[in-house]
């Protein structure tokens, strides 16, 4: 059975001496800056690929974004709660429907907006109080 994306990126981190923290921690400014810079770089590559209409480069940029994002979960010690947090956000997003059961969209770009039954995801429950101060 193949490894999931997080497991593969963890293998990369361990091979190349990049952080894989056991507990949530965002105290290392150098790591924080690196993560922001890597995500921004890959997002810019996606923007360029879309502008150029290059589907191969779009796929490359999206895959690189996922790789870097999983690396951020590892670097910040959040990989252990990634799946549960994702499930919480997904359930919250599914609560955005309008009263009539249809999506409410922003006219300018089609973004799905929050309906009257929307509830905010409770992500704090995945972070220990002692971890919040890190």
Q: Once rounded to an integer, what is the mean pLDDT over residues 46-51?
A: 98
The pTM for the full model equals: 0.91
Summarised one tens digit per residue, pLDDT across range 79-103 is 999 999 999 999 999 999 999 999 9
**Is 67 found in the same domain as 22?**
yes
Residue 132, domain member (yes or no): no
How many structural domains are present in the chain?
2
Summarised one tens digit per residue, pLDDT across range 26-40 is 999 999 999 999 999
Q: Provide the mean pLDDT of the chain.
A: 95
Structural domain including 119 reads: 81-126
User: What is the residue-wise DSSP string for the chain?
Assistant: ----HHHHHHHHHHHHT----SS-----HHHHHHHHHHHHHHHHHHHHHHHHT-HHHHHHHHHHHHHHHHHHHHHTT-GGGHHHHHHHHHHHHHTT--TTSS--B-TTT-PBPP-TT-----GGGGS-HHHHT-
Summarised one tens digit per residue, pLDDT across range 54-71 is 999 999 999 999 999 999
Residue 114, domain member (yes or no): yes
Residue 134, domain member (yes or no): no
**Is 41 found in the same domain as 56?**
yes
């Amino acid at each position: 059975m193949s490894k999931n994306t997080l497991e593969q990126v963890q293998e990369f981190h361990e091979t190349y001496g990049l952080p894989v923290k056991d507990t949530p921690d965002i105290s290392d400014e150098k790591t924080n800056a690196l993560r922001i810079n890597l995500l921004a770089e890959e997002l810019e590559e996606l923007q360029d690929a879309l502008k150029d209409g290059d589907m191969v480069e779009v796929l490359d940029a999206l895959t690189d974004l996922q790789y870097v994002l999983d690396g951020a979960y590892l670097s910040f010690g959040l990989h252990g709660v990634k799946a549960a947090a994702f499930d919480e956000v997904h359930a919250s997003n599914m609560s955005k429907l309008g009263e009539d059961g249809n999506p409410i969209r922003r006219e300018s770009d089609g973004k799905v907006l929050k309906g009257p039954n929307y509830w905010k995801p409770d992500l704090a429950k995945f972070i220990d109080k002692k971890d919040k101060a890190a």
